[in-house]
Amino acid sequence: MPVPWPLETPPTGWLKCNGAAFSSEKYPNLAKVYPTLKLPDLRGEFIRGWDDSRGIDTGRSLLSGQTATFIRTALQDYYGVDLTTNVKVGIAYATADSVITVGNPANPKAGDNSDYVPASSDNSITGTQRTAEDNFTGAWISMRPRNVAFNYIVRAA
């Protein structure tokens, strides 16, 4: 089981979880836990509890990696100046229950600042935003909780 360790060098009888290969002859018990004969590479990673059929994070297998979640921010100013912009907020269904054909503000924009193609009325809204972002180049933000860096180590057995 990976254990947080606050020093650069693991204690005697322990190995860093750095993706290194190991010998099943030298570490037979470790080979039972990691049959690929490679330690998990936990450098710069958060460990997350496995879903195990709970339904929160379906489709994951044990020891599988997952990329960061990117969150769409509705408070973007794609023009790099303080002005009002018409935007589409939300996710429109590809096969919508109904199509929006009237009532849009003049020249609405989709999330990537492309021309908005009316798509649905059931999972999104058209609105106006006013922001003061200065030369913001991305349409997405990523979130990372506060954290402290530790080495993860495993017992070499």
- Is 64 or 26 the better-scoring residue by pLDDT? 26
pTM for the whole structure: 0.54
Which has the closest alpha carbon to 150: 44, 68, 63, 1?
44
What length does the chain have? 157
Q: How far is CA 72 from CA 12, 91, 95, 139, in A?
A: 46, 10, 22, 7
As given in the structure block, the two tokens for residue 11 are 């204690």
How do residues 43-76 score in pLDDT, each as one tens digit? 998 888 889 999 988 888 988 888 777 655 544 4
What's the pLDDT at 2? 94
Within 10 Å of residue 119's Cβ, how many Cβ atoms?
19
What's the pLDDT at 83? 47
Q: Domain residues of the chain, as ranges?
A: 1-48+144-157, 73-139
CATH architecture, range 1-48+144-157: Alpha-Beta Complex (3.90)
Quote the DSSP letter at residue 122.
S
Strand, coil or helix: what is 70?
strand
According to DSSP, the residues that pair with 142 across neighbouring strands are 70
